[in-house]
Amino acid sequence: MRWILSFLLLAFLATVQAVSSAGYKLLVVLEELADKSKYSKYLGDLEARGFSISYESPKSDKVALFTLGERAWDHVLILPPKAKGLGPLLTPKLLLDFINAGGNILVALSASQPTPSGLISLLLELDIHIPTDRSALVIDHFNYDTLSAAEKHDVVLVPRPDAIRPDVKNFFKGDGKGGEAIAFPRPVAQTLGNASPLLTPLIRAPRSAYSYSPKDDVDSVEDPFAVGQQLSLITTMQARNSARFTVVGSSELLEDTWFDAKVKRSVGMNGAPAGNEFKTSNQAFAKEVTGWTFKETGVLKVGQIEHHLNETGSEIVSNPKIYRVKNNVSYSIELSEYSWDKWIPFTPPTGDIVQLEFSMLSPFHRLPLKVAETTLTSTIYTTSFKLPDQHGIFNFKVNYKRPFYTNVEEKNTVTVRHFAHDEWPRSWVITGAWPWIAGIGATVTGWVAFVGLWLWSKPVPLKGAKGGKKNL
Amino acid sequence: MTDSIVEPFLKGNTGRNTRGILRLSILCLIAAAAIASRLFSVILDPWFNFRATKYLVANGFYDFWDWFDDRTWHPLGRVTGGTLYPGLMVTSGAIYHALRALTIPVDIRNICVLLAPGFSGLTAFATYLFTNEMSTSPSAGLLAAAFMGIAPGYISRSVAGSYDNEAIAIFLLVFTFYLWIKALKLGSAMWGALCALFYGYMVSAWGGYVFITNLIPLHVFVLVCMGRFSPRLYVSYCTWYSLGTLASMQIPFVGFLPIRSSEHMSALGVFGLLQLIGFVEFVRSGVPSKQFTTLLRGFVLAVFTIAFGGLVLLTVSGVIAPWTGRFYSLWDTGYAKIHIPIIASVSEHQPTAWPAFFFDLNLLIWLFPAGVYLCFLKLADEQVFVVVYAILASYFSGVMVRLMLTLTPIVCVAAALVLSHLLDTYLTMTSPDAPAEGASDATNGAAKKAIKQDGLRSMRSPLVGIYTTFSKGSVVSALTAYLLLFVLHCTWVTSNAYSSPSVVLASRMPDGSQHIIDDYREAYQWLRQNTKTDAKIMSWWDYGYQIGGMADRPTLVDNNTWNNTHIATVGKAMSSSEEVSYPIMRQHEVDYVLVVFGGLLGYSGDDINKFLWMVRIAEGIWPDEVKERDFFTERGEYRVDGGATETMKNSLMYKMSYYNYHTMFPAGQCQDRVRGVKMPDQGPVLNTLDEAFTSENWIIRIYKVKDLDNVGRNHTAAASFERGNKKKKTTKRRGPKVLRVE
Q: Collect all residues with Cβ–Cβ distance below 8 Å to B212 and sequence separation of at least 6.
A: B173, B176, B177, B199, B202
CB spacing of A322 vs B68 below 8 angstroms: yes
How many CA atoms lie within 13 Å of A279's alpha carbon, on the beta-carbon side?
Answer: 9
| Closest C-alpha to B87, from B254, B258, B256 | B254
Q: Which amino acid is at A152?
A: K
User: What is the rounded CA–CA span in Å between residue B141 and residue B218?
Assistant: 25
Alpha-carbon distance of B448 to B499, in angstroms, equals 47
Please give, one letter per residue, the 3-state secondary structure of B29-64.
Answer: HHHHHHHHCCCCCCCCECHHHHHHHHHHHHHHHHHH
Residue A46 contacts B, CB cutoff 8 Å: no
Q: Are strands A408-417 and A322-324 parallel, antiparallel or unpaired?
A: parallel
- Whether A231 and A281 map to the same domain: the answer is yes
Residues 6+ apart with CB under 8 A from B229: B223, B274, B277, B281
CA B587 to chain A, closest CA, distance in angstroms equals: 6
Distance of CA A395 to the CA centre of its chain: 20
Is A440 part of a structural domain of the chain? no
Give the Cα separation of A133 and A396 in Å (integer): 50
Are A291 and A405 members of one domain?
no
Are the beta carbons of A285 and A297 closer than 8 angstroms? no
A327 touches chain B (CB under 8 A): no
Distance, in Å, from the CA atom of B173 to the CA atom of B185, rounded to the nearest integer, reads 18
Q: Which of B201, B300, B217, B195 is nearest to B251 (CA)?
A: B201
Query: Is the CB of B588 inside 8 Å of chain A's CB atoms?
Result: yes
Handedness of CA B145, B146, B150, B152 (dihedral sign): negative
Neighbours of B714 (CB within 10 A): 16
pLDDT digits (tens, 9 = 90+) for B646-683: 999 999 999 999 999 999 888 888 889 888 898 888 88
Q: For B712, which residue in chain A has the nearest alpha carbon?
A: A196
How confident is the model at residue B263, as a pLDDT? 84
For residue A462, being part of any structural domain is answered with: no
pLDDT above 50 (res B443): no
Closest CA to A419 of A326, A329, A316, A330: A326
Peptide linkage before B75 cis (omega within 30 of 0): yes
Residue A366 within a domain: yes
Range with the poorest average pLDDT among A184-198, A271-285, B170-184: A271-285
Non-local CB neighbours of A370 within 8 Å, separated by 6+ positions: A381, A382, A383
| % of chain B with per-residue pLDDT over 90 | 47
Please, are residues A30 and A79 in contact by the beta-carbon 8 Å criterion? yes
Predicted local distance difference test score (pLDDT) of residue B54: 93
Q: Residue A77 falls within a domain, yes or no? A: yes
E runs forming strands in A30-170 = 52-56, 66-67, 70-71, 75-78, 104-108, 128-129, 137-140, 155-158
Span B153-163, average pLDDT: 88
Chain B environment of A93 (Cβ under 8 Å): 721-722
Give CA separation, A391 vs A327, B65, B79, in Å: 11, 16, 8
Half-sphere exposure of B322 (CA within 13 A, CB side): 6
Q: Does A207 touch chain B (CB under 8 A)?
A: no
φ/ψ (deg, to 5) at A92: -55, -35
What residues make up the domain containing A42? 18-295
B318 touches chain A (CB under 8 A): no
Closest CA to A346 of A365, A316, A369: A369
pLDDT for res A471 = 45
Cβ atoms of residues B320 and B311 within 8 Å: yes
Same domain, A291 and A304: no
Q: What is the DSSP letter of B249?
A: T
Q: Which residue among A251, A272, A295 closes a domain?
A: A295
Closest residue, chain A, to B186 (C-alpha): A472
Same domain? For A313 and A188 the reply is no
Q: Which of A149, A108, A98 is nearest to A130 (CA)?
A: A108
Residue B441: what pLDDT? 45
- Higher pLDDT: A170 or A83? It is A170
| Interface contact B712-A415, CB threshold 8 A | no
Cis omega before residue B46 (within 30°)?
A: yes
Q: How far apart are CA B368 and CA B684, in angstroms?
A: 56
Burial class (CB in 10 A: 0-12, 13-18, 19+), B632: middle
Q: Of the candidates A268, A295, A322, which is a domain's last residue?
A: A295
Higher pLDDT, B460 or B436: B460
B737/A129 touch (CB, cutoff 8 Å), yes or no: no
Which fold would CATH assign to domain B519-722?
Rossmann fold (3.40.50)
Which ipTM did the prediction report? 0.86
Kindly state the average pLDDT of the residues B538-554.
90
- Whole-angstrom Cα distance, residue B445 to residue B350? 46
In a shared domain, residues A309 and A406: yes
CA distance B233 to chain A (A): 10
Confidence of residue B85 (pLDDT cuts 50, 70, 90): very high
**Mean of all residue pLDDT scores within chain B:** 86
Q: Write down the pTM of the prediction.
A: 0.84
Say yes or no to pLDDT of A466 above 80.
Answer: no
Beta strand A199-204 pairing with A209-212: unpaired
Q: Do the chains contact at A420 and B74, CB–CB below 8 Å?
A: no
Burial of B99 (0-12, 13-18, 19+ CB in 10 A): middle
Task: Note whether B160 and B39 are within 8 A (CB).
Answer: yes
Q: In the listed set A275, A295, A315, which residue is the last one of a domain according to the structure?
A: A295
Question: From the CB of residue A211, how many other CB atoms can be counted at a distance below 10 Å?
Answer: 25
CB B202 within 8 A of CB B251: no
Contact B712 A240 (CB under 8 A): yes
Every domain range in chain B assigned CATH 3.40.50.12610: 519-722
A221 in the same domain as A79: yes
Number of alpha carbons in the 13 Å side-chain half-sphere of residue B50: 25
Kindly state whether A411 is in contact with chain B, defined as any CB-CB distance less than 8 angstroms: no
Q: Name the residue of chain A whose CA is nearest to B556's CA.
A: A393
- Residues in chain A closer than 8 A to B76 (CB atoms): 360, 391-393
Burial of A259 (0-12, 13-18, 19+ CB in 10 A): buried
Query: What whole-number distance in Å separates Cα of residue A260 and Cα of residue A282?
Result: 8
Question: Which strands form B537-538's sheet, in the order they lie side by side?
Answer: B537-538, B592-596, B700-705, B689-694
Is there a single domain that holds both residue A184 and residue A226? yes
Regarding whether A303 and A291 lie in a shared domain, the answer is: no
- Domain of A367, CATH number, reads 2.60.40.1930
**Nearest-CA distance B653 → chain A (Å):** 23
Chain A residues with CB under 8 Å of B587 CB are 361
Q: How confident is the model at residue B331 (pLDDT cuts 50, 70, 90)?
A: confident
Q: Are residues A171 and A183 in the same domain?
A: yes
Helices (H) and strands (E) in chain B, counts: 33, 8
How many other C-beta atoms can be found within 10 angstroms of the C-beta atom of residue B497? Answer: 13
Are residue A259 and residue A308 in the same domain, yes or no? no
B437 three-class SS: coil
Q: What's the gap in Å between the CA of B691 and the closest CA on chain A? A: 20
Residue A455 maps to a domain: no
Q: Residue A235 in contact with residue A247, Cβ under 8 Å?
A: yes
Strands A392-400 and A191-192: unpaired
Whether the CB-CB separation of B398 and B445 falls below 8 Å is answered with no
Based on the fold, state whether residues A201 and A336 are members of the same structural domain. Answer: no
Number of structural domains (chain A) is: 2
pLDDT band at B92, cuts 50/70/90? very high
Given CB atoms, is A177 within the 8 Å cutoff of chain B? no
Confidence grade of residue B437 (pLDDT, cut at 50, 70, 90): very low
Q: CA-to-CA distance for B209 and A375, rounded, in angstroms?
A: 64
Measured in whole angstroms, how far is the alpha carbon of residue B67 from the centre of its chain? 25
Torsion over CA: B81, B85, B88, B94 (sign):
positive
Give A121-166 pLDDT, tens digit per residue: 899 889 898 888 878 888 888 888 888 887 888 888 888 888 888 8
| Burial class (CB within 10 angstroms; exposed 0-12, middle 13-18, buried 19+) of A328 | middle
Q: How confident is the model at residue B270 (pLDDT cuts 50, 70, 90)?
A: very high
Task: State how far the Cα of B190 lies from the Cα of B206, in Å rounded to an integer.
Answer: 24
Q: For residue A159, what is the domain's CATH number?
A: 3.40.50.880
Domain assignment of residue A434, yes or no? no
Chain B nearest CA to A14, separation (Å): 30
The span from the CA of B13 to the CA of B332, in Å, is: 57
DSSP one-letter string for B656-711 = HHHTTGGGGS-TT--EETTTTEEPPSSPP--SSEEEEEE-TTSSEEEEEEPPPPTT
Put simply, the answer to whether A417 touches B66 (Cβ < 8 Å) is: yes
| Distant-in-sequence, close-in-space partners of A30: CB < 8 Å, separation ≥ 6 | A36, A55, A57, A79, A81
pLDDT at B614 exceeding the cut of 60: yes
Contact A333, A398 (CB under 8 A): yes
- Residue A163: inside a domain, yes or no? yes
CB-based contacts of A80: which residues, under 8 Å, 6+ apart? Answer: A108, A109, A110, A113, A115, A251
**Same-domain status, A226 and A306:** no
Residue in B70, B587, B729 nearest the CB of A393: B70
d(CA B495, CA B279): 57
Residues of chain B with pLDDT > 70: what percent?
A: 90
Mutate to test the interface with A, among B59, B64, B70, B223 (most CBs of A within 10 A): B70
Measured between alpha carbons, how far is B525 from B151 in angstroms, rounded to an integer? 36
For residues B724 and A121, what is the distance between their CA atoms, to the nearest angstrom? 11
Q: Tell me how crowded residue B91 is: count the other CB atoms within 10 A of its CB.
A: 21
Which residue of chain A is at minimal alpha-carbon distance from B734? Answer: A223
Spell out which residues of chain A touch residue B570, defining contact as CB-CB under 8 Å.
none
What is the residue type of B344?
A: A
- Predicted confidence at residue B67, as pLDDT, reads 92
User: Which of these ranges, A241-245, B110-114, B351-355, has the smallest mean pLDDT?
Assistant: B351-355
Asked if B726 is an interface residue toward chain A (Cβ–Cβ < 8 A), one would say yes
CA dist A222 → A133, A204, A218, B718 (Å): 15, 22, 6, 35
CB B233 within 8 Å of CB B184: yes
Residue in chain A nearest B188 by alpha carbon: A472
Q: How confident is the model at residue B434 (pLDDT cuts 50, 70, 90)?
A: low
